[in-house]
Structure 1
Amino acid sequence: MSDRLDDLERRIDTLRAGVRRAMRARDSATARTLRAELRTAERAWDSLVSSDTADPTPGTHDEPAPARSARLVTVREQVHQALAMLGAPAQARLVVAVSDAFFHGTLRSPQLTSLRRDEERSFKGSPYNRPYYLCAALTDRLSPARGLLAVSTWPVERRMVGPLSPRVDFLTCATRVAEEVGRLPFPFPEAVRLLARMSRNIPGATGADLGPPDPGRVIDAAGTELRVHAGRDTRDRAELAERAASQLNDVARLFGAATLSTIMNREQDTDVRTGARTTRGSR
């Protein structure tokens, strides 16, 4: 428990310093992103403190202490916390793994299934009413990329998915995970296992032995490959971002444009419901 609190306190200090630097540079977009991450980290700290100090006497409350403390950090906040650390769009299974490995998370993959749809409904009801939204990465058709979650405060380019983007995003995420593991004096076993799994998919990231991965080696290997792909991927994302800015409204820029198949499915569903009502009315 104390190790996790120490790690969160260091992250909070780092985020606060980042907010101050962004404000001095008048970089309001970065400041907003860092402030949202700071609030999430502070809630995680509160959750751990509450869990550690909760009354352990059975029967004194209506529900167990762990259940009460877990609610202090919502599913939405836990997902944002993990994505903010990764810095790139990610699949639900990676978000869950990062939350568990670094933030004492309670996420399960099924909880993320409808999250993006809930965020879209919230945005449509009250646009920009929240400091951030959990939204979609966008494909070259400007439609939502299947299963990929992103954060609305990221630059649009970061949420685009070009031909090389899946590999670039994986390398970016692996670098972030390695950096976090390297900062921890005693990394959690879950974090070491996650880094080991990711490093196996990066040439040169693992040694001949079967010991724990070296975070510095993973960072270097990922950086070497990133330098090969980054230029082309940056250009592809910039082109897609320009298309999104010119062709999409606010909702679609965050959650993607409906594809032709989606529209056809909706029309077919409408026809089925209308036909059913007509049939009943003709009897």
Structure 2
Amino acid sequence: MRRALAALEREMEQLRNDARAAHEDGDHAAVRTACEQLRLAENAWYTQIGHAAQPQLQSKERMRLALAVIGVPASPREIQQVTRAFTGKDLPWAPLASVRRDEQRRYNTSSSAASYICPALNADDFTPLRGLYALGEWPLERRLRTSTSARVDFLTMVTRLASHHQSSSPPVQELLRRLADHIPGVEVSMNASIPTAIARAAETELHIITSDDRARRAAAAHTARRQLDPVQQIFGAPRN
């Protein structure tokens, strides 16, 4: 536990420095990302010493933090798995059943530049995809799903989790082991950690499949920006 606490404390200090530097550079997106990562690290620190996170995060905020860690559109199951592995707490889904409607209402009534939970969008018709969540601050290209995006996003999620500062913790390593069952070519040697081996295998496949998916998303995003208003670019076009 002492090593884990020391690692978390070093990470929190680094994230504070990152947030400060981003603030001085006027990079608001980087500030928000660093602060979200800092809150997650602080929650893990409180969990390690046997106390509830201070302040206690609401379910929707924990969902937002999990999505920030995952970095790509994710399903409720993936969001719950990441929340449990990184915070040691379950994320009850019932209070989040209306999250999309609530977030769109908040967007329509608030002028702040807050982070919004929104649906991923179908790259063919830009309608919201059921059961797939994203963050509205992400570039439109990242929030779109083509026929090849599911695999790309899964592998991207795995590489992000494997490179996270908490990747050496037992709960995160256990999650990575389960995810590795869906990635061919994972080889763990005495000279490579589990996260490193998993990230290497995921990146190898990503190198092969990413370029085509990126081109499809870029073309769809170009069309979406011409056809959709700002609200629809976040929450999707109406279904016919």
TM-score between both structures, scaled by the size of structure 2: 0.84
Q: What is the root-mean-square deviation of aligned Cα atoms in Å? A: 3.0
Q: In the alignment, which residue of structure 2 is the partner of 1:138?
A: 121
Q: Does the Cα contact within 8 Å between 1:157 and 1:238 map onto a contact in 2?
A: yes
Moved over 6 A (4+): 1-4
Q: In the alignment, which residue of structure 2 is the partner of 1:162?
A: 146
Q: Does the Cα contact within 8 Å between 2:64 and 2:117 map onto a contact in 1?
A: yes
Q: Does the Cα contact within 8 Å between 1:90 and 1:149 map onto a contact in 2?
A: yes
* Aligned residues with identical type, % of pairs: 33
Q: In the alignment, which residue of structure 1 is the partner of 2:93?
A: 109
* Residues in 2 aligned to 1:157 and 1:92: alpha-carbon distance in whole angstroms: 21
1:120 partnered with 2:99: no
Q: In the alignment, which residue of structure 1 is the partner of 2:112?
A: 129
Q: Does the Cα contact within 8 Å between 1:5 and 1:48 map onto a contact in 2?
A: no
Q: Does the Cα contact within 8 Å between 2:44 and 2:86 map onto a contact in 1?
A: no
1:246 partnered with 2:226: yes
CA 1:150–1:4 in structure 2 vs 1: closer, same or farther (change >3 Å)? farther
**10-19 or 147-156, larger mean C-alpha shift:** 10-19
Q: Structure 2 unaligned runs (5+)?
A: none
* Residues in 1 aligned to 2:224 and 2:137: alpha-carbon distance in whole angstroms: 15
Q: In the alignment, which residue of structure 1 is the partner of 2:235?
A: 255
Q: How many residues align?
A: 236
User: Cα deviation per residue 1:183-225 (whole Å; 9 max; x = unaligned)?
Assistant: 43xx23x3232111110000112569xxxx8211111100000
Q: Does the Cα contact within 8 Å between 1:32 and 1:131 map onto a contact in 2?
A: no
Q: Does the Cα contact within 8 Å between 2:126 and 2:224 map onto a contact in 1?
A: yes
Q: What is the Cα deviation at residue 103 of structure 1?
A: 1.8
Counterpart amino acid of residue 37 in structure 1: E
Q: Does the Cα contact within 8 Å between 1:78 and 1:107 map onto a contact in 2?
A: yes
Q: Does the Cα contact within 8 Å between 1:29 and 1:153 map onto a contact in 2?
A: no
Q: Does the Cα contact within 8 Å between 1:116 and 1:135 map onto a contact in 2?
A: yes
Q: Does the Cα contact within 8 Å between 1:11 and 1:41 map onto a contact in 2?
A: no
Q: Does the Cα contact within 8 Å between 2:119 and 2:133 map onto a contact in 1?
A: yes
* Residues in 1 aligned to 2:54 and 2:16: alpha-carbon distance in whole angstroms: 24
Q: What is the Cα deviation at residue 2 of structure 1?
A: 6.7
Q: Does the Cα contact within 8 Å between 2:127 and 2:237 map onto a contact in 1?
A: yes
Secondary structure class of the residue paired with 1:145: strand
Q: In the alignment, which residue of structure 1 is the partner of 2:181?
A: 200
* Residues in 2 aligned to 1:116 and 1:256: alpha-carbon distance in whole angstroms: 11
Q: Structure 1 unaligned runs (5+)?
A: 53-65, 261-283
Query: Whose radius of gyration is greater, 1 or 2?
Result: 1
Q: Does the Cα contact within 8 Å between 1:181 and 1:215 map onto a contact in 2?
A: no
Q: In the alignment, which residue of structure 2 is the partner of 1:233?
A: 213
CA 1:20–1:71 in structure 2 vs 1: closer, same or farther (change >3 Å)? closer
- Which runs of structure 2 are paired with 1:185-224 in the superposition (5 Å)? 187-188=169-170, 190-206=171-187, 214-224=194-204
Q: What is the Cα deviation at residue 38 of structure 1?
A: 4.6
Secondary structure class of the residue paired with 1:137: strand
* Residues in 1 aligned to 2:148 and 2:24: alpha-carbon distance in whole angstroms: 35
CA 1:77–1:50 in structure 2 vs 1: closer, same or farther (change >3 Å)? farther
Secondary structure class of the residue paired with 1:148: strand
User: Cα deviation per residue 1:235-259 (whole Å; 9 max; x = unaligned)?
Assistant: 1111111122111112111111111
